Amino acid sequence: MRQPKFGISLLVAAGALSLAGCGEEKKPEPAKTQAQAPAVPTIEIKIGHVAPLTGGIAHLGKDNENGARLAIDQANAAKIMIGGKLAHFELLAEDDQADPKVATTVAQKLVDAKVAGVDGHLNSGTTIPASAIYHQAGIPMITGSATNPMLTEQGFDNVFRVVGRDDQQGPAIASYLAATDKPKVVAVIDDATAYGQGLADEVAKTLKAAGIKVLAREKGTDKTTDWKAVLTKIKGEKPDAVFYGGMDATGGPLIKQGKELGLDAVYAFGDGACTDKMAELAGQAAEGMLCSQAGIPPQAASRSFLDAYKAKFNTDPILYAPFTYDAANLLIEAMREAGSADPAKYLPALHKISYMGATGRIEFDAKGDRKDAEITIFSMKNGKIAPIAVVKSGKTMTYDEFLKGMGGAK
Amino acid sequence: MDIFLQQVVNGLTLGAVYAIVALGYTMVYGIIQLINFAHGEVVMIGAMVALSVINLLADAGLPPLVVVLTGAACAIPVCMVVAYAMERLAYRPLRRAPRLAPLITAIGVSIILQHLAMLVWSRNVLAFPQIIDMRVYTVAGAVITNVQIAILASCVALMAALAWLVYRTRLGTAMRATAQNPQVAGLMGIDANRVIATTFLIGAALAAIAGVMVGTYYGVAQYTMGSILGLKAFSAAVLGGIGNIPGAMLGGVLLGVVEALGAGYIGNLTDLCSYPVISGWIGARCAGGGHFVLFGSNYQDVFAFAVLILVLVLRPSGLLGERVGDRA
């Protein structure tokens, strides 16, 4: 009995609000909008974005979502025409809690909501199972941060990624470590997730190939905060370097406890622990750590993106926002080129796309991986990670050289 | 040997914290046979309150130890209020209900507290301010920090104080009487509700201190930190014999040490290449110092719980538990 009444009153309230909104703000151009509205047919396009918005890496998830949201808002403001219709994009932002089980549920939810494309997910462990669901539904998905090679090795033609792969990132940080710090013994630890383990495997492989002794793999979980037992064991084998494949929430305690135990080594991490948060969590202990990020640092993204992000969210992008921004724009651009938001029709356009995004030119290879993806090496200096080198197609150059190569404009 | 000693030092620190938290579980269970699953959340709230207070005072120029102690001093009353409210609102109305009802309520309270904390302190992993200067001492090859020494010393002091309270004071006598038989204790003029509420308050104070210790030790705090810690402490209480106070202390320390040793050695123990007979079969993987590890150190919890199961199979009432008859 109560519900209908409540519904009506809500409707009334909503109507009143929207009327009020029109009256107040759009005074100068009511005639124009009224004249245009009936003439141009419009099309509603839903784009999904998935990342963990709760849990230990919620800050990274929100950053990813912000990137996608910025792209969608800009596309709406630009009044893009798709197949002769004025496109209005809507972002369906979902939380997968970094949990593979939740990820598949959320993926199904987006498929049921008939999204035209998906920007996500954040973690490799969630993206891989979700990709199968998007594949069945024929919905294109572009991830801006899942770096596990397996994702694009499944042979799905709807799966793309705009960042580098772990098998590029792993060798890059490992060869940098081998070349600059020349360790004799390296301990490799991972957090037993698809991401951490994949990255650690690649690092171990490259180090072994360079003739460096790699200790038996130690593992934690993605919730481990007590690394003392593992580090104590490792300390007995006196490694010159420690590599950890995992996120900052667990990597911070790891480096802090390692230094406490007197395990003096070079600490190296993958992109998940390549954030300023490491210094916050580990304090002085994080100083001098090395880490890598697939792609280029957020601060090397295009100026226009950085300014727009700062203006909209009043903060700087943390990690992958430029990539999820590009991913959303790629979906929109492919739809525009194909003149359709129908996945079957714009998917071929996505395969052939050549697009200048916030992270540089983007083209895909046959598997859906980005061609010539860069990997950047960082070091912690005074509590902030600072880029020190860029590895691109097997070649290492210092960060300054790289910026010069990009024309110094960025 | 120094590695072994180091693992024992790590384990003792961890175990001391488990013991302090386990006391909260065991005292409440002993007195009203309720497994208070929200107890881990009280630890988390203690850590969070202390974190906020320490952050506030960080720039005030006070000595670091004073700041941390102030943090703990603020966390204790807050945790006591939370625990009192929890007992008064969620458990007391269900005192006469079937035992499953308060158990489910406890899980509900735990979820509510966790999400309230998420609203207040955000869902991010927060950095617990590291204001105490880390000093490292080397004893017989093992490294021990001043924080670890402080944790161990305060845990021993707290356990001694609690033992004195329970076995040497009128309040303790009342608590033990209520635990044995609430009706008869009531006939003797003991206000059971007051005794039960006091038990919750004591447990909460211990939890608050444990929260500050965990935060200082690991340098991180998050709204989810209480659940796994609570589970471990609960296991420690069961290991020692739930309802038994010395049992919780023993169980906590034992679980900590077993966990540390497990994490340190499970990889070596299950490395098939270290067994000559088996390494012959899988020759290629072991060649040149290779490894074939079945269970890595990420199985440290499995190792700890396997020990728990083993103890419970051999001694169902726990190491120091008695009175099996009247328990479910």
Q: Is B115 helix (H, G, I), strand (E, B) or coil?
A: helix
Report yes or no: A131 and A154 within 8 Å, Cβ to Cβ: yes
Q: Which residues of A touch B259 (CB under 8 A)?
A: 229
Contact of B72 with chain A, judged by CB distance below 8 Å, is answered with: no
- Asked if A58 and B124 come within 8 Å (Cβ–Cβ), the reply is yes
CA dihedral (A197, A201, A204, A206) in degrees, to 10, reads -140
pLDDT digit string, tens, across residues B30-82: 898 899 999 999 999 999 999 999 999 988 888 888 999 999 999 999 999 99
CA distance A215 to chain B (A): 9
What is the spatial distance between Cα A181 and Cα A210, in angstroms, rounded to a whole number?
Answer: 13
What is the spatial distance between Cα B160 and Cα B319, in angstroms, rounded to a whole number?
Answer: 20
Say what the pLDDT of residue A361 is: 86
- Asked if A213 and B289 come within 8 Å (Cβ–Cβ), the reply is yes
What is the spatial distance between Cα B54 and Cα B74, in angstroms, rounded to a whole number?
Answer: 10
Q: Which residues of B touch A62 (CB under 8 A)?
A: none
Contact of A58 with chain B, judged by CB distance below 8 Å, is answered with: yes
CA distance B180 to chain A (A): 38
Q: Is the pLDDT of residue B279 over 70?
A: no
Interface test with B, best of A225, A235, A278 (most B CBs within 10 A): A225
- Asked if A220 and B3 come within 8 Å (Cβ–Cβ), the reply is no
Centroid of chain to Cα B93: 27
Taking only residues 183 to 242 of chain B, the set having a beta carbon closer than 8 angstroms to any beta carbon of chain A reads 218-220, 222, 224-225, 228
Higher pLDDT, A343 or B292: A343
pLDDT digit string, tens, across residues B197-242: 999 999 999 999 999 999 999 888 999 999 889 999 999 999 999 8
Q: Which residues of A touch B225 (CB under 8 A)?
A: 225
Report yes or no: B225 and B234 within 8 Å, Cβ to Cβ: no
Say what the pLDDT of residue A38 is: 57
Average pLDDT, chain B: 88
Report yes or no: B252 and B322 within 8 Å, Cβ to Cβ: no
What is the spatial distance between Cα A90 and Cα A76, in angstroms, rounded to a whole number?
Answer: 9
Q: Which residues of B touch A55 (CB under 8 A)?
A: 123, 224
CA distance B291 to chain A (A): 6
Nearest-by-Cβ selection for B220 from A220, A232, A252: A252
Contact of B101 with chain A, judged by CB distance below 8 Å, is answered with: no
What is the spatial distance between Cα B193 and Cα B312, in angstroms, rounded to a whole number?
Answer: 32
φ, ψ at A289 (rounded to 5°): -65, 155
Nearest-by-Cβ selection for B260 from A229, A249, A260: A229
Q: Is B292 helix (H, G, I), strand (E, B) or coil?
A: coil
The amino acid at A293: Q
Nearest-by-Cβ selection for A192 from B145, B289, B298: B298
CA distance B172 to chain A (A): 35
Contact of A205 with chain B, judged by CB distance below 8 Å, is answered with: no
The residues, ordered by sequence, that sit 6+ positions from B34 with a Cβ below 8 Å of its Cβ are B28, B91, B99, B102, B103, B106
Report yes or no: A226 and A260 within 8 Å, Cβ to Cβ: no
One pLDDT digit (tens) per residue for chain A, 410 residues: 444 444 444 444 444 444 444 444 444 444 444 445 557 899 999 999 999 998 878 889 999 999 999 999 999 999 999 988 999 999 999 999 999 999 999 999 999 999 999 998 999 999 999 999 999 999 999 999 998 889 999 999 999 999 988 788 888 999 899 988 899 999 999 998 888 998 999 899 999 998 999 988 888 888 888 898 889 988 888 999 999 999 988 999 999 999 988 899 999 999 889 888 898 888 888 999 999 987 888 878 888 999 999 999 999 998 899 999 999 999 999 999 999 999 999 999 999 999 999 888 899 999 999 987 888 899 999 988 899 998 876 678 888 887 776 544 44
Taking only residues 165 to 184 of chain B, the set having a beta carbon closer than 8 angstroms to any beta carbon of chain A reads none
The residues, ordered by sequence, that sit 6+ positions from A205 with a Cβ below 8 Å of its Cβ are A170, A171
Contact of A315 with chain B, judged by CB distance below 8 Å, is answered with: no
How big is the A-B interface in CB pairs under 8 Å?
A: 107
CA distance A285 to chain B (A): 11
